Amino acid sequence: MKLTTEQLQEIKNQQSQEAKTKRVTVPELEKVLYEALPALDHGFVRVVDYMGDDTSIVQSARVSYGKGTKQVSTDSGLIRYLMRHWHSTPFEMCEIKYHIKLPIFIARQWIRHRTANVNEYSARYSILDKEFYLPSLENLAAQSTSNRQGRGNVLEGEQAKEVLELLKNDAERTYSNYEIMLNEKFDGSTIDAERKGLARELARMNLTLNTYTQWYWKTDLLNLMNFLRLRADHHAQYEIRVYADIMLDTVKKWVPITYDAFMDYRVGGTEVSAKGKKIIQKFIKNENITLEESGLSKREWNELMEAFELDHKLIK
């Protein structure tokens, strides 16, 4: 990840600010506030603002006036109860705003989570940076044969080199044409004084989807956890998972009690249907039950077996 001199100075200026406040602040999150946390080859995640902490969730749930005399262990018990029983509104009392630099194809996947306030860098107004995402060799994989939206085996040798060259060359070629259409180079100089540049809103359509964009993304803690539950999961696409993992670490710094409950009940836990519950009860009693008797589909059965690590009962 490369930051310009201007960007580095801006971050330095932001981090040197001092402000007195009566609002809740979180020392661990303050340590990384405004910092550009690297993601992929040119991307980053920055926490630029936040509101509330674990006590804000507790106060909301109790509708109390302040922290009072409750112990941390009591707060932890309440937050775990809220998480365990899917009580949602208290977690909406905390908010966080990120500044994120990411490839366009990941941004288009990300924007499907329609639960945040988003303002993206405008390529109608400004010229996009000459930066493209190129996967590392270990993340260059073939299409999965069993999952229509997943990856299979990693490409190797000459095929991997060929694919990387295609990605790189296409990105550089289309960006060069982008500059020609704009009649403006990346450094701001004019290509041909006699020539008019195409409107930026039209020239941008020629760029490849691995071009980087940026946005501010503000959301509440509840919807952030819903996002992270899906995107920090090992089934998620690698590139978006990189960002989710970084954001998950900021949640740990921001609301550690909630983070522990989230990891326990949402990330590490599992949901079981009524039929699944009966099957597990039979296994506990050492009673046999077959797929045909269970009322589950083959996929449901295997997901249940995997969740409880009953590998010997998987149906091939």
DSSP structural state of residue 197:
P
- Terminal-to-terminal C-alpha distance of the chain: 44
Q: Identify the bridge partners of residue 143 per DSSP, sorted by sequence position.
A: 151
**Closest CA relative to residue 26, chosen from 261, 250, 246:** 250
Q: Which of 231, 241, 266, 299 does the annotation list as catalytic?
A: 231
């980087």: which residue's tokens? 212
Could you give the CA distance from residue 118 to residue 128 in angstroms, rounded to a whole number? 18
Could you give the CA distance from residue 153 to residue 292 in angstroms, rounded to a whole number? 33
DSSP structural state of residue 211:
B
**229 catalytic per annotation:** no
Q: How far is CA 176 from CA 109, 160, 186, 208, 232, in A?
A: 26, 24, 9, 12, 35
**Closest CA relative to residue 188, chosen from 110, 231, 127, 122:** 127
Could you give the CA distance from residue 3 to residue 8 in angstroms, rounded to a whole number? 6
Q: Is 113 exposed, middle or buried (0-12, 13-18, 19+ CB in 10 A)?
A: middle
CB distance 227 to 236 below 8 Å: no
Could you give the CA distance from residue 164 to residue 136 in angstroms, rounded to a whole number? 9
Q: What are phi and psi of 153, to 5 degrees?
A: -70, 150
Could you give the CA distance from residue 290 to residue 308 in angstroms, rounded to a whole number? 16
CB distance 30 to 71 below 8 Å: no
Active site residues: 231
